[in-house]
Amino acid sequence: MRRLLLTTLPLLALAAASPLAGQDAAPPAPVPAVEGTFEGPYQPSDDLERGLWHQMAEAERSLKISQQVIRDPELNAYLREVLCRTVGPECANIRLYVLRSPYFNATMAPNGVMTVWSGLLLRAQNEAQLAAVMGHEFAHFKRRHSLQLFREAKEKSNAAAFLALTGVGLLFSIGMLESLFAFSREMEEEADRDGLKLLIDAGYDPAQVPLIWEQMLDERDATLVARGRDKDKRKAKAGMFATHPPSQARVDYLRAAIAGQTINPVADNGLERYRTRLAAWWPQFLDDQLKLNDDGGSLFLIDSIDKANGWTPWTGFARAEFHRRRGAPGDAEAAVGFYSDTIARGGDLPELWRGRGYALRKAGRADEARADFLEYLGRVPDAPDRAMVSTLAGVQ
């Protein structure tokens, strides 16, 4: 995963500073007192660590009231279920937060705070792949990798980094943090191997572990090609970030490690459970992805989801939305075609008619657009955008 300072602390601050609209903020839950005792089996060993714990407790307070946190009880319960199956009873000491952020990431701080980002939930194709990433993060936590990096940073006396620890100058210093606080390749490989063992012990299919990294490589290639750049040389360059093990090498050593393990013949990937629990969220997460304007990556994800789960009305909608939003020559008519095909195949999402209305309007087919806007308003009488759509439809 991508690393900023100690992985999680600045992310907590950023989550609090960058809320996404449309989510209700719950009242802050109690946070352990920062004087005297600390939560979890590992206790700060000296003043340096106690200071770090204080700062993380403050950051967690902000996180608890951030609108970026997804508070849906069913989604949170499901992710905790996967976490506990993967890491065992120690999951009781982990505070888990699900963040609405379109990027592929999960983090774990040394005081027991784990975050899972919605971009990971969109990209993982089954429960085993999600468990692989959570297990990897937990392995970093168990080996105290973040604390090791923290102590090394103190020895370097990097002023910008310590300002970032307190939230001062965070955005100013963020560019240098990846190189200073990124896990070493050795640490990443340790976490990969430990996480793989956790996955096998939990009864998941270990073959899913290298697959998720291969998917990330393929997505990166799709992004580069769409931007007119060459694909990376996978065996010569580092992974998603320079401080990670070379991505193809990561896939290779994980496959070699799997080949040397005794695998439970009934190991599963949890595809049906994952598909059922995440189905209601994928449209929202995919919409977040489309807003990144990553044409190659977005189309790759839509294709991947279709391949893993079969065509659904919301992936048809997403494909249509992609073309409508991109706005390249011919995209408006292409979008109309995808909306129409999805409707013809039984799709009944009200947004299909609204989206097709916008595309038809852009294609110069105003009368057809008005009919679709009226259909949308009839299906969603209390639509939040009713005033705007009513104007486009020519009604009050």
Q: Which two tokens stand for residue 310?
A: 């079969």
Give the whole-angstrom CA distance, residue 396 versus residue 360: 21
324 and 238 in a single domain? The answer is no
- Look up the CATH number of the domain holding residue 353: 1.25.40.10
What is the pLDDT, as a whole number, of residue 70?
A: 97
Please indicate, yes or no, if residue 267 is contained in any of the structural domains. no
Q: How far apart are CA 367 and CA 9, in angstroms?
A: 53
Are 226 and 295 spatial neighbours (Cβ–Cβ below 8 Å)? yes
Q: Are 36 and 129 part of one and the same domain?
A: yes
Same domain, 47 and 78: yes
Instruction: Give the range of the structural domain holding residue 81, as residue numbers without chain letter.
Output: 9-259
106: enclosing H helix or E strand: strand 106-108
Percent of the chain with pLDDT over 70: 78
- From 228, 259, 290, the end of a domain falls on 259
Determine how many CB atoms are found less than 10 A away from the CB of residue 381.
7
CB count, 10 Å around CB of 123?
A: 25
Listed residues 259, 291, 311: the one ending a domain: 259
Q: Looking at the structure, do residues 233 and 381 belong to the same domain, yes or no?
A: no
Q: Give the pLDDT score at 232.
A: 66
Residues 110 and 211 in one domain: yes
AA letter at 232:
D
**Does residue 274 form part of some domain?**
no
Amino acid (1-letter code) at residue 256: A
- Which of 231, 259, 287 terminates a domain? The answer is 259
The dihedral region occupied by 280, where left means phi > 0, alpha psi between -120 and 50, and beta the remainder, is alpha
pLDDT at 234 (0 to 100):
54
- Partner residues linked to 97 by β-bridges: 115
Q: What are phi and psi of 348, to 5 degrees?
A: -125, 20
Quick one: 246 and 285 in the same domain? no
Asked if residue 331 and residue 203 are part of one domain, the reply reads no
Q: Is 137 a catalytic residue?
A: yes
Per the domain annotation, does 176 fall within a domain?
yes
Under 8 Å between Cβ of 26 and 98: no
Give the chain's residues under pLDDT 70: 1-41, 154-182, 232-246, 396
Q: What is the pLDDT at residue 68?
A: 93
Distance of CA 34 to the CA centre of its chain: 30
- 154: number of Cβ within 10 Å: 14
Are 79 and 198 within one domain?
yes
Beta bridge partners of 107: 115
Residues in the chain: 396
Asked if residue 3 is part of any domain, the answer here is no
In a domain, 1, yes or no: no
What φ, ψ does residue 97 adopt, rounded to 5°? -125, 135
Please tell me whether residues 62 and 177 are part of one structural domain: yes
Q: What is the pTM of this model?
A: 0.80
Q: State whether 106 and 186 are in the same domain.
A: yes
Domain presence at residue 272:
no
Partners of 99 in the β-ladder: 69, 117
Which residue is catalytic, options 127, 137, 189, 375?
137
Shared-domain flag, residues 96 and 244: yes
Count of structural domains within the chain: 2
Q: Is residue 2 part of a domain?
A: no
Question: In this structure, is residue 266 part of a structural domain?
Answer: no
DSSP 182-227: PPPHHHHHHHHHHHHHHHHHTTB-TTHHHHHHHHHHHHHHHHHHHT
Residues 57 and 206 in one domain: yes
